[in-house]
């Protein structure tokens, strides 16, 4: 047995552990407790996974997965969610009203992505307030019932020939607008070590 | 033969055609000729398709697809690109220097997404100037050669436990920051009918 190499190994693990603990504390200190994402009947595991990665990336801790058409818990993509999902708090709901009651108690505003007559641009909403953002599924978008229970609808401007951004792309663009607004307002701790 | 119904049909088609022509002219008037995306060795057709949809959505007309490891033209995902690709001008290159020479002649700045020592946040770059934005592949990112030929590197802040956004998500977030900055500066025509 090589005692020296064991010592080095132990030190190495100790240092790793300390760095990891620091990293976890930093990430936790930047979690935005008053910001959440609700996925209504989103089925594609790859899309759910991509959304979870975006949530983790901008500091969202709690995610609501609402499945009103099935009593089965939505599957998460194995590959990409494995990392993100284990760091998030994921709530599964099967009843719309039950889910929205919880949202109402925890967040000041609920906004849905929906192409309705009265719809705001995502850039015109104050995303620094306490808010839950509802995204619908790939085919039908947010249901009329969920939209009716919300405080307003918003959309991402599209000025091209095609008007259909993927749900994971739409969600990421929205969440990074949250990040930009919140960052500008100093809502993230200054000691954060981002990957920049 | 019902003459009346034929008239109605003709009028309908005429009106449709006029509306479509108007739509195309509006979209064209909002195309940002001094903004482009370069995909270096991005292979996944789904990712390329998603990027093309984001390009179309924010008004990018020209896209450069650079494949230095193969002489085969990268495949575009059938499903989602069919719509976007036909409205874009896609340039395929197989030689890095040839591609960058063209970029240098057409755009004032070239920025690469790369995690290097000197890297800007996407939110700290002036994206209203004439600029080409280079994105690398899913595994290795932008090559050191491409980064060396660029004017700087940028990244999207990530403050979560996982640090790896999908290429299509990273590209969409960047392009919508371009949209936000350019929109605020009035670089889009005011008569645009977005989907808001």
- Cα angle A18-A19-A24, degrees, rounded to a multiple of 5: 95
State whether residue B50 sits within 8 Å of chain A by CB.
yes
State whether residue A32 sits within 8 Å of chain B by CB.
no
Chain A environment of B179 (Cβ under 8 Å): 157
Q: How far is B192 from chain A (nearest CA, A)?
A: 7
CB B134, CB B40: distance < 8 Å: yes
Q: Model confidence at B14, in pLDDT bands (50, 70, 90)? A: low
Strand order in the sheet with A89-93: A89-93, A62-66, A35-40, A131-135, A109-113, A152-155, A119-121
Looking at residue A123, the DSSP 8-state letter turns out to be: G
Whole-number average pLDDT of chain A: 86
Q: What is the largest CA-CA distance in chain A?
A: 74
Looking at residues B83-91, what average pLDDT do you find?
A: 90
CB–CB contact B177 A180 (8 Å): yes
Query: CA B166 to CA A84: how far, in whole Å?
Result: 13
Taking 50 as the threshold, does the pLDDT of residue A24 lie above it? yes
Q: Model confidence at A133, in pLDDT bands (50, 70, 90)? A: very high
pLDDT in tens, A39-88: 999 988 988 999 999 999 999 999 999 999 877 766 665 554 467 888 99
State whether residue B84 sits within 8 Å of chain A by CB.
yes
CB–CB contact A194 B24 (8 Å): no
Q: CA of B46: which chain A residue's CA is closest?
A: A166
| Minimum-distance CB partner of B161 among A56, A157, A179 | A56
CB A73, CB A42: distance < 8 Å: no
Give pTM, 2 decimals.
Answer: 0.87
| Minimum-distance CB partner of A162 among B53, B159, B161 | B53
Looking at residues A13-28, what average pLDDT do you find?
A: 79
DSSP chain B: --HHHHHHHHHHHHHHHHHHHHHHHHHHHT--TTEEEEEES---HHHHHHHHHHHHHHT--EEEEE-SS-SSPPP--HHHHHHHHTTSEEEEES-HHHHHHHHHHH-SEEEEE---SSEEEGGGS-TTSSEEEEE-BTTTBS-HHHHHTSSEEEE----SS-----HHHHHHHHHHHHHHHHHHTT-S-TT-----
Chain A environment of B168 (Cβ under 8 Å): 166, 168-169
pLDDT in tens, B120-137: 999 999 999 999 999 998
Quick one: pLDDT at residue B16? 64
Chain A environment of B156 (Cβ under 8 Å): 57, 176
For A39, the enclosing helix (H) or strand (E) is strand A35-40
Query: CA A175 to CA B145: how far, in whole Å?
Result: 32
CB A24, CB A16: distance < 8 Å: no
State whether residue A116 sits within 8 Å of chain B by CB.
no
φ and ψ at residue A82, rounded to 5 degrees: -50, -45
- B13: tokens are 């088609």
* Residues sharing a CB contact under 8 Å with residue A75, sequence separation 6 or more, in sequence order: A45, A48
- A99: tokens are 């889910």
DSSP B122-164: GGGS-TTSSEEEEE-BTTTBS-HHHHHTSSEEEE----SS---
Ranges A100-114, B15-29, B69-83, B177-191: which has the least confidence: B69-83
Cα end-to-end distance, chain A, whole Å:
42
- B134: tokens are 């280079």
| Minimum-distance CB partner of B173 among A23, A163, A176 | A176
């Amino acid at each position: 047995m090589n005692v020296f190499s064991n010592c080095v190994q132990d030190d190495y693990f100790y240092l790793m552990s300390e760095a990891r603990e620091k990293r976890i504390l930093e990430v936790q200190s930047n979690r935005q407790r008053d910001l959440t994402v609700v996925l209504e009947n989103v089925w594609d595991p790859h899309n759910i996974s991509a959304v979870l990665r975006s949530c983790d990336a901008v500091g969202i801790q709690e995610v609501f997965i609402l499945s009103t058409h099935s009593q089965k818990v939505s599957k998460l993509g194995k590959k990409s969610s494995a990392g993100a999902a284990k760091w998030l708090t994921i709530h599964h709901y099967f009843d719309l009203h039950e889910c929205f009651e919880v949202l109402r108690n925890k967040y000041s505003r609920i906004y849905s992505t929906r192409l309705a007559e009265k719809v705001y641009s995502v850039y015109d909403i104050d995303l620094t307030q306490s808010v839950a953002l509802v995204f619908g599924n790939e085919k039908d978008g947010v249901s009329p019932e969920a939209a009716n229970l919300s405080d307003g609808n918003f959309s991402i401007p599209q000025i091209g020939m095609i008007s259909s951004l993927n749900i994971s792309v739409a969600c990421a663009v929205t969440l990074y607008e949250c990040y930009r607004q919140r960052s500008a307002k100093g809502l993230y701790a200054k000691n954060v070590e981002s990957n920049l």
